[in-house]
């Protein structure tokens, strides 16, 4: 069975990039969300094995969504995606329960390495 992943980013082209990397490496993208509020809804609906979550998004940011998802499912596996220079937010996210983070612009091997590591933990 392939691992089911929810991709969360407010930029459609970023979601497309991640989806492309994942599908080429045997992962199944089961859903997408463009803000934290949608991410929380989709997580409850789809029960993915892992979530890639952008930090900076409208309506509800990635850290708020992370906290909400972790509150309803302590075992949720969430990897944060951030631009360079967001170290303090990345630290907040890890303290809130994120399993790892990947930096934009995405490098395919780093994305796959992070996801594989978190899924096997």
CB environment 16-32: b (16+ within 10 A), e (fewer):
ebbbebbeeeebebbbb
Distance from C-alpha of 4 to C-alpha of 11, rounded to nearest angstrom: 21
- Total domains in the chain come to 1
Q: What is the pTM of this model?
A: 0.94
List residues bridging with 52 in a β-sheet. 7, 79
Range of the domain at 114: 4-120
List residues bridging with 31 in a β-sheet. 6
Task: Summarize pLDDT for 33-68 with one digit per residue, the tens.
Answer: 999 999 999 999 999 999 999 999 999 999 999 999
Q: What CATH number is given to the structural domain containing 109?
A: 3.40.50.2300
Instruction: Give the pLDDT confidence score for residue 30 in this predicted structure.
Output: 98
Task: Summarize pLDDT for 66-112 with one digit per residue, the tens.
Answer: 999 999 999 999 999 988 777 788 889 999 999 999 998 889 999 99
């Amino acid at each position: 069975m392939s691992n089911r992943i929810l991709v969360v980013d407010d930029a459609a082209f970023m979601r497309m990039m991640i989806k492309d990397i994942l599908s080429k490496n045997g992962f199944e993208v089961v859903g997408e969300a463009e803000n934290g509020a949608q991410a929380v809804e989709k997580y409850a609906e789809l029960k993915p094995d892992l979530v890639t979550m952008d930090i900076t998004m409208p309506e509800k940011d990635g850290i708020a969504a992370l906290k909400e998802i972790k509150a309803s499912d302590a075992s949720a596996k969430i990897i944060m995606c951030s631009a360079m220079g967001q170290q303090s937010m990345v630290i907040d996210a890890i303290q809130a329960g994120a399993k790892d983070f990947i930096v934009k612009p995405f490098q395919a091997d780093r994305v796959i390495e992070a996801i594989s590591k978190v899924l096997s933990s």
